[in-house]
Structure 1
Amino acid sequence: MSAFDLSRRTMLAAGAAAIGSAASKGADAAPTAPKGFLWGCATAAYQVEGNNLNSDNWLLETLPGTPFREKSGDACDHYHRFEQDIALFAQLGFNSYRFSIEWARVEPLPGLFSTAELDHYRAVLLACRKHGLKTVVTLHHFTSPLWFACQGGFQSEAAIVLFARYAERTIRHCGDLIDHLCTFNEANLSFSGFVPAQPLMQAAAAATNAPHFSSFLFDDVAISKPIVRACHRAARRAAKGIWPDLPVGLTLAMADIQSVPPDGPYGASKRAEMYDVWLDEARADDFVGVQTYTRELYGAQGRVEPAAGTVRTQIGQEYYPQALEGTVRYAAGRARVPVIVTENGIGIEDDKIRIAYIEAALAGLRRAMADGCDVRGYMHWSAMDNFEWLFGYAPKFGLIAVDRATQIRQPKPSAYMLGKIARGPDIFGQPRRIS
């Protein structure tokens, strides 16, 4: 997808229209969020730490013909700079931080657990505690140890025992400092429909002499996803066996699926096909994480592309901040457990557009909550501009800019805006027109 030629004027107009609409619809909605509402920003270990050499993705970036546009390299060096970053998040006004633990650091070889690395993540958690941030910790955010991928990854039923073992060791070491635990990030996601995954997995197998190489983002989903659900259940049992009161859930990638025409049946059937098995799985959890960026349109012949001239983001997604309201309503109604928005954001260079997007998304969230949806938090993706997988470093999702040559952080106006909302008496702010 090439969407780097965005029209600033068109995007600003779309953002302003969305904000104005949200303001008119949400003016009488509840002005405050529940006590203890999580206002935060999110990162993933592989995307910000840098130099995760033992992860499967590190290999995939280097293979001939790789679909990854760039190598992750030092990333944002968050591995060494977490203390200053966490202090900055707190200074901006957030009360929580969602981050992930890199399994490949904790267990670099099968059965070999690194106390030093577990201590590192404990230090990250203690830094959050020091700065007054609640912690939302993800055990698996797309990347796995290289040895695990060489053994078939999540396409092997051995994964259930192996993932539960990793979860148990991690939670035993760090669980007293974790406020919410996500077993998997976007457990339902795969890149296999967007890139030729099989040649990439074959190249990785040849490079490692593995009989069957399998990486989470490039799996055969018919085989892997039932195993991922079993891994989730096993990790939840492990966590509850150590800390019974620790809230455990998983997060899902959810677009707001709509019909073309709007009164058609196509959206509802596709939504059920894509999400219901996962939301039904979440009924046994303490919460479900909803991660929404845009909408998808479906008609009688399947996926419908947005109309010509539709504003798109840097990764080709339609600019549609109203999507969050739709996915939260659907997830809350189907799963019947509390919802945490564990990711929501936009890949865009112009930060004024990000501000418009956030405010429109929050207006929709506000309406959903006013109508009874049990939402416990909003975590913006992402805390800082980082490594965005296949797209490399070009898309800018961050509230904080990072000069990767110097690693200097610079909060954007959107960071101050969202921090002010998090601190303010009117917890959701009032959407305003962007000029």
Structure 2
Amino acid sequence: MDHTEPAGAGDTLQDFGPVPAGWVWGTATAAHQIEGGNVGNDWWDWEHTPGSGTRESSGDACDSWHRWFEDLELVKAIGLDAYRFSLEWSRIEPAEGEFSIAALEHYRAILLAAHELGLRASVTLHHFTTPRWMAAQGGWSNPLVVERFQRFADIAAQHLGDQIDMAATLNEPNVVAHAGYIGGQFPPGRPHDWEGFRQASRHLLLGHLAAREALRAGPGDFPVGLTLALPDTVLHADGDLTSPGERVTDLRPDGPRGELGWLTAGQYLDAARDDDYIGVQTYFTEHVGPDGAELPLPSGERVTQMGWPFTPEALGASVRVAAEVARVPVIVTENGVAAAEDAERIEYYSRSLRSLRAAMDDGVDVRGFFAWSLLDNFEWALGFEPTFGLVEVDPVSFARSSKPSAAWLGGLARASRGAHV
């Protein structure tokens, strides 16, 4: 395992270089992590289930259900030009077949205000949360969910499509399935349930295909894709973390990671060939042994607040894999770091963006970058302790305070717009 950094990697990146016409510099959020009061979904139930392992309730989160315009103003003030957010399915369809016009109008107001501020709006239909009524019927393990998700996508498209600039059907469906049915950290919390994992993976893929068609049916004309958790994976056939290892690029069922690699990445990248883009979300490099299991990090390895290895250059590797397999443009829909010290955040972004630039210079078709996240927010099972945000949020007053990393990233974005390639 190579612990060395590229020359100059510790220096703050001052110039990303010119970006292609149409490029987006944005930042991302998710409804359940920032809105507060999302009591109608499976995650709210999970947070309040004894033994689930979730540290705390999302509660009021960042109160963005009420403070969304302030959040948009922050994106604009930072100097970015796009905002990625998700629709909370359980607010729009609180009971099966019952749709809330008020909730749809709430999200429409966000879209309209974003455009008034000169921001492009990227909308995600499903970011980890499923309505309680659907979860009670088996959630993503029930084939019925495909039709129900398609119906939700159709309702959202009919009401909002004319104002959407970019859409993702699903955020990290591979995490929804794996963490729910293999790891057990997400609802429904069924660890080592391989059959449930296979079923959920199949229905998530079918759900994407169905929702994609609903979104494309209009109104509106915008790129549609999905986002994928895609760590840079290095295989050590000898099980020795200190050996050079081989980067995994073959994600077919008979590839080095077998069925797991196919269900968590390969099948989605293949499906993305008919999408308008593939959303890549990379945070670290993982090292696996011959059985596919992740190798433990050596003592003293630098890690983030999430316990993930501090390996920003993983981004450059993963966009290359995504582009090679999916054969469509890449948008980095999430990248960032949970760090107590903001200087680490700037270092992380500097290094990840250098690796992204190198991939682009080698011909990888990348169309944008969204920083995760705009706000310090509810980080699922780990609660509010990990801080990914460009903006700090007071847990009592909900007052927002931009960090130096926000000004730094905004400056980088502004400088890149001086010329196009």
For the criterion TM > 0.5, the same-fold answer is yes
1:293 corresponds, among 283, 292, 316, to 283
Match of 2:299 in 1: 308
1:68 corresponds, among 54, 58, 64, to 54
Q: What is the Cα-based RMSD across aligned positions, in Å? A: 2.6
1:363 aligned to 2:351? Answer: no
Q: TM-score, normalised by structure 1?
A: 0.86
Paired letter, 1:421: L
Structure 1 residue 176 displacement after superposition: 0.8
2:198 corresponds, among 222, 226, 236, to 222
| Secondary structure class of the residue paired with 2:217 | helix
Structure 1 residue 270 displacement after superposition: 2.8
Q: What do the CA deviations read for 1:143-192 (whole angstroms, capped 9, x no partner)?
A: 01100101111111111111011000011100111111100000111314
1:49 aligned to 2:35? Answer: yes
Match of 2:166 in 1: 180
Q: TM-score, normalised by structure 2?
A: 0.89
Match of 1:235 in 2: 211
Match of 2:120 in 1: 134
What CA distance in whole angstroms lies between the structure 1 residues aligned with 2:187 and 2:65? 32
What CA distance in whole angstroms lies between the structure 1 residues aligned with 2:349 and 2:247? 30
1:93 aligned to 2:69? Answer: no
1:150 aligned to 2:125? Answer: no
Structure 1 residue 427 displacement after superposition: 7.4
2:184 corresponds, among 195, 199, 207, to 195
Identity %: 42
Which consecutive unaligned segments of at least 5 residues does structure 1 have? 1-13, 203-216, 429-435
Please give the residue correspondences for 1:369-388 in structure 2 after superposition, counting only pairs within 5 Å. Answer: 369-388=360-379
Match of 1:422 in 2: 413
Query: For the structure 1 residues 147 and 83, does the alpha-carbon distance in structure 2 shift closer, same or farther, using more than 3 Å as the test?
Result: same
Please give the residue correspondences for 1:277-356 in structure 2 after superposition, counting only pairs within 5 Å. Answer: 277-302=267-292, 303-356=294-347
The 8 Å contact of residues 48 and 57 in structure 2, kept in 1 or not, is answered as yes
The 8 Å contact of residues 23 and 363 in structure 1, kept in 2 or not, is answered as no
1:40 aligned to 2:26? Answer: yes
1:259 corresponds, among 201, 226, 235, to 235
* Range with greater deviation from structure 2 (61-70 or 326-335): 61-70
Match of 1:270 in 2: 257
Structure 1 residue 243 displacement after superposition: 3.7
The 8 Å contact of residues 378 and 384 in structure 2, kept in 1 or not, is answered as yes
Match of 1:205 in 2: none
Match of 2:382 in 1: 391
Q: What do the CA deviations read for 1:4-53 (whole angstroms, capped 9, x no partner)?
A: xxxxxxxxxx89x45714889x99x9821101211011000000000001
Which consecutive unaligned segments of at least 5 residues does structure 2 have? 237-242, 251-255
| Secondary structure class of the residue paired with 1:193 | helix
What CA distance in whole angstroms lies between the structure 2 residues aligned with 1:239 and 1:108? 21
The 8 Å contact of residues 43 and 187 in structure 2, kept in 1 or not, is answered as no
1:411 aligned to 2:402? Answer: yes
What CA distance in whole angstroms lies between the structure 2 residues aligned with 1:285 and 1:358? 27
Match of 1:163 in 2: 149
What CA distance in whole angstroms lies between the structure 1 residues aligned with 2:409 and 2:7? 15
Match of 1:206 in 2: none
Paired letter, 2:218: I
Paired letter, 1:418: L
Structure 1 residue 193 displacement after superposition: 3.3
Match of 1:11 in 2: none
Query: For the structure 1 residues 252 and 58, does the alpha-carbon distance in structure 2 shift closer, same or farther, using more than 3 Å as the test?
Result: same
The 8 Å contact of residues 19 and 356 in structure 1, kept in 2 or not, is answered as no
| Secondary structure class of the residue paired with 2:157 | helix
Structure 1 residue 85 displacement after superposition: 1.0
The 8 Å contact of residues 266 and 300 in structure 1, kept in 2 or not, is answered as no
1:20 aligned to 2:11? Answer: no
The 8 Å contact of residues 201 and 218 in structure 1, kept in 2 or not, is answered as no
Query: For the structure 1 residues 425 and 289, does the alpha-carbon distance in structure 2 shift closer, same or farther, using more than 3 Å as the test?
Result: closer
Paired letter, 2:200: S
* Range with greater deviation from structure 2 (285-294 or 245-254): 245-254
The 8 Å contact of residues 315 and 395 in structure 1, kept in 2 or not, is answered as yes
What CA distance in whole angstroms lies between the structure 1 residues aligned with 2:200 and 2:115? 36
What CA distance in whole angstroms lies between the structure 2 residues aligned with 1:218 and 1:419? 44
Structure 1 residue 64 displacement after superposition: 1.7
Query: For the structure 1 residues 108 and 197, does the alpha-carbon distance in structure 2 shift closer, same or farther, using more than 3 Å as the test?
Result: closer
The 8 Å contact of residues 267 and 299 in structure 1, kept in 2 or not, is answered as no
What CA distance in whole angstroms lies between the structure 2 residues aligned with 1:220 and 1:236? 24
| Secondary structure class of the residue paired with 2:316 | helix
1:108 aligned to 2:94? Answer: yes
The 8 Å contact of residues 28 and 83 in structure 2, kept in 1 or not, is answered as yes
What CA distance in whole angstroms lies between the structure 1 residues aligned with 2:224 and 2:392? 31
